[in-house]
Copies of this chain bind each other. A is one copy, B any other.
C-alpha cells in the first residue's frame, strides 16, 4: 500500500504551518514511514506568505491571475503580536530582543519566515502554480487536480490525490456592494482589497463604508496621511470609538453623486437623510468565500463566521462524507497564526493516522454544537471566548503541547481600543511564552510613516 498523496493549496501562514509540523514530526521520528504523506503544495504567487507577501499590483497580476494580496503599505498589526505569537518560536527568539506589541507588516512577515526557515520549508512549495480545478472521482476514489504553471502559461496534466487541504484563505475576493449613483460618482471608488498607498487621500474628504476592522483602520490611516475628513457609514451599528474630530459616523449610504467639473465634487446621502461632501469612497465591506477551482459539492459558501457550518473541528469538510477535503483558516479571525497552527497540527495528526475521526453522526453533532454556540455569541468578549475554546479544543486534540489561550490579552486589547482608538497600537503587552514585556514603540502609530523592517528595528533600539 502506497503513502497517501496530499494536495496542499496555498503557502500562507496556514499552509506553511502544515508543512512545518509535518517536517518537525518527521525529523523527530514521530511518524512511521508508511504513515508519512506525500505532500504537494501549490502557491500561485512567486513566494510564500499569502497575504503577508505584499504586492503593489491590483486587479490581475503579470500572469492575468487575480491579485491575491489585500494589504496596503504602512499596515501595522491591528492586534498585539503577543496574541498571535508561536509558543515554540517567540518574537524574542526571532529578533534577539524585545520589540513593540504592534509591529508593521514587514516585521511580522520576517517573523513568519524565521520559523519557516528553521526547517527550510520554501523548497517544499511549488511556486507560481495556480490550482485550476479540483474534482472528486468516486470511481478512482481520488481527487483530480488540474494546475496551471503560470510562468509557462501551461495547464499541467491532471494529478490524483487522496486528500486536499485548502489553505487559500478567504480575504482575497472582495465583497463589493452597489449604492445608487455609484456608477457616476466623480472620484475614485475602491474596495480596501485594491488599496496600496494612503498618500492619495491627503487633503481629501473620504467616505468609508463599513464598520469592522478594515473600516476602523481606513479611517485612522486616512487621517494619518492627511485626509481632511472621514465619514464612516455603518449598516447595523456604529463602531462608536472616541474618534478624532475629523472622523464621524453615519448610518448606511443610500445614494452617492456629484459633479465632474473641476472644482466641483461628490456627495453621499445617508439613511438618516443627512448628506456629506466627499471626494473618495473606500468600500471596507469585507470578502467572499470564493473557491472557484473547487467542484460544486466541495465548495464552502456563506458569510464570514467564527464557525462556518459543515466543518468538523472547523476543518474537515463533511458534505459527501469522504472526509478528505480540509479547510484551514476559513473562520473569522481574532486568533490568527496560532489558530492556523493548531488546525495545521490537527490536520497533520489526522493525515498521519494519529487522529481517528468519530462517526459521521458524531462529527455532524459536534459541528452543529459549535455552530449553535457561535450563533449565540454576539459581543467581542463572547466571540473571543468562543474562539479561545475552539483553538484550545484543537490544540488538546492534537497534543499541541502549549496552552494557546491568550483571551486575557484580547480582552485588554479591546479595553484599550475603547479607551482611545488612536493610541491602542502604542500600548504594550507581556508575552505569555517568553514572559517578556514589550517596549513602547519608537514612534506612536499615528506618527509612524516608514513601515520598513529596517526603520522599525532601528526605532525599537531608539536609534
Residues of A at the B interface (CB closer than 8 Å) are: 54-62, 64, 66-67, 73-74, 148, 153-155, 173-174, 176, 178, 182-191, 193-194, 196-200, 202, 225-226, 260-263, 265-266, 279-280, 288, 290, 292, 295-296, 299, 301, 449-450
- Across the interface, which residues of B come within 8 angstroms of A194, CB to CB? 58-59, 194
- Across the interface, which residues of B come within 8 angstroms of A225, CB to CB? 260, 262
- Across the interface, which residues of B come within 8 angstroms of A178, CB to CB? 62
- Asked if residues B173 and A56 are in contact (CB atoms below 8 Å), the reply is no
Given contacts A260-B74, A296-B155, contact A60 B174 (CB under 8 A): yes
In whole angstroms, what is the CA distance A55 to B189 when docked?
Answer: 12
Given contacts A261-B449, A262-B202, A449-B261, contact A188 B196 (CB under 8 A): yes
- Asked if residues A288 and B64 are in contact (CB atoms below 8 Å), the reply is yes
Return 16 A-B CB contacts under 8 Å, by A number: A54-B183, A56-B189, A59-B60, A64-B290, A64-B292, A73-B184, A148-B292, A154-B296, A155-B295, A185-B197, A188-B200, A194-B194, A198-B260, A200-B279, A202-B262, A225-B260
- Asked if residues B176 and A449 are in contact (CB atoms below 8 Å), the reply is no
- Across the interface, which residues of B come within 8 angstroms of A200, CB to CB? 187-188, 200, 279-280
The one of B155, B185, B280 that contacts A56, using a Cβ cutoff of 8 Å: B185
Q: Considering the complex, give the chain B residue whose CB is closest to the CB of A202.
A: B262
- Across the interface, which residues of B come within 8 angstroms of A226, CB to CB? 262-263
In whole angstroms, what is the CA distance A202 to B202 when docked?
Answer: 13
* Oligomer copy total: 2
Select the residue from A67, A200, A263, A266 with max chain B CB neighbours within 10 A.
A200
Chain B nearest Cβ from A194, distance in angstroms: 6
Chain B nearest Cβ from A299, distance in angstroms: 8
- Across the interface, which residues of B come within 8 angstroms of A64, CB to CB? 66, 173, 288, 290, 292
- Across the interface, which residues of B come within 8 angstroms of A148, CB to CB? 292
- Asked if residues B184 and A188 are in contact (CB atoms below 8 Å), the reply is no
- Asked if residues B260 and A450 are in contact (CB atoms below 8 Å), the reply is yes
- Across the interface, which residues of B come within 8 angstroms of A173, CB to CB? 60, 64
- Across the interface, which residues of B come within 8 angstroms of A199, CB to CB? 186-187, 260, 265-266, 279
Chain B nearest Cβ from A225, distance in angstroms: 6
5 more contacts with CB within 8 A, not counting A59-B60, A64-B288, A187-B199, are A56-B184, A155-B296, A189-B196, A200-B279, A200-B280
